Structure 1
Amino acid sequence: MECPTTLDFTEALKDSPRFRKQLHDHEQYFSKLETKLNEVLRLVTAMVEYGQNYVATFYNVTSAMSELSKESFSYDPLTVGAFASIADAYTEVVNFHKILIEQAHWSIHKNINAFLKYEIGKVHETRQHFEQLSASLDEALGRKAAIPRHKTAEVAESKNALTAVGTCFAHTALDYVAQVNVTHARKNHEILDAFSSFLRACRTFFDQGQTFFTGWSTIENGVIGDSID
């Protein structure tokens, strides 16, 4: 999946066989890239769904533990206080995980999906225009070639039509090349930033967890420790 060489605007105006070959290589590259990115989106979606189920189940465990404390240990205030401290810690952990899972969606899924929609989508859209104008140019060339030379009026009319179509094709070819080059220029940092932003969210997740448990350890060694002892 090597990146093809940069498209040249001069070759685009010539519409040379070399340009068509390079264009095909770029189209193949973007097609494979799109497939890979869609696979990433599918996996991130699954990860978010599993994560949401994990958070919901973890929350249910916290609720069940609180109910257990109230119903089965209400006679012992010290134990009830220990359970409450654990429940508070569980709640914080649940919130940390919830934020991390949301970041997986917003950082990776949303950004890569935006790249596919706005960048790869523009390549597909410009390609369609290019292919339409290319077909129109071939038709105009065929019509001009089929008109006998002695029919000067029809020859002149077909020549004007061919010139108009050729001009539109040249503009579309340049637009296509520009869009391909722009998408190549954007893909590296936009895709890299999507994955990097989630890694920053992971770092924040662990930093916040460490900060919380550093302060919570005092309570753990106090109320909970005394209750267990």
Structure 2
Amino acid sequence: MKAIIDNIECQRDSPRFRQVLEENEKDLDTLEGKLEKVVKQCNQMVAAGKQFNQEQEQLIHILWDLAGYFGNDTNVQSALNRMLAALGEAAKYHTILVDQAARAVTKNLASFIKNFYRI
């Protein structure tokens, strides 16, 4: 995006100034459209991430129930507990990732577009 508008041209309000101003306005419109696409895609990603987290938590609960079934078999129960620990850790970090994406990208960028970009 070229942001060069000569001060002398501004003062003259010449046809060249009008042309450069129009080009910059078009660039801003293009940028706004691209930023809105980023926000929309990030919102979809956050929604999909939340759905994934819910499904993963259901899997953890089902595996926890399965581990209880093998209460007498320490080898199977030990293997399931290790898998549950790994899945729980992954779920925790994935939840943090989705939350950070929602706050850092979606919320802040949408706020920027709304408050600072549209003057």
- CA–CA distance in 2 between the matches of 1:21 and 1:119? 24
- CA–CA distance in 2 between the matches of 1:4 and 1:118? 23
Letter matched to residue 99 of structure 2 = E
Question: Which residue matches 2:43?
Answer: 45
The reply on whether 1:110 has 2:107 as its aligned counterpart is yes
State the SS of the aligned residue for 2:118.
Answer: helix
- Distance change in 2, residues 1:8/1:79 (3 Å): same
1:146-157 matches, within 5 Å, as: none
CA offsets per residue over residues 75-119 of structure 1, 9 Å max, x none? 223422332222121100101111111222223223322332233
- CA–CA distance in 1 between the matches of 2:11 and 2:116? 23
- CA–CA distance in 2 between the matches of 1:5 and 1:53? 42
Identity percentage of aligned residues: 28
The question of whether the paired residues in 2 share the 8 Å contact of 1:44 and 1:105 is answered with yes
The reply on whether 1:87 has 2:84 as its aligned counterpart is yes
- CA–CA distance in 1 between the matches of 2:7 and 2:115? 23
CA-based RMSD of the aligned residues comes to 1.7
Deviation at 1:5, TM superposition (A): 4.8
CA offsets per residue over residues 31-58 of structure 1, 9 Å max, x none? 0111111111111111111111111111
The question of whether the paired residues in 2 share the 8 Å contact of 1:41 and 1:112 is answered with yes
- CA–CA distance in 2 between the matches of 1:103 and 1:90? 20
Question: Which residue matches 1:101?
Answer: 98
Letter matched to residue 6 of structure 1 = I
Letter matched to residue 40 of structure 2 = R
In the alignment, structure 1 segments of 5+ residues that lack a partner are: 123-229
Question: Which residue matches 2:71?
Answer: 74
Question: Which residue matches 2:30?
Answer: 32
The question of whether the paired residues in 2 share the 8 Å contact of 1:4 and 1:22 is answered with no
The question of whether the paired residues in 2 share the 8 Å contact of 1:7 and 1:19 is answered with yes
Deviation at 1:9, TM superposition (A): 2.8
Deviation at 1:12, TM superposition (A): 2.1
TM-score by length of 1: 0.48
Select the structure of larger CA radius of gyration: 1
Letter matched to residue 6 of structure 2 = D
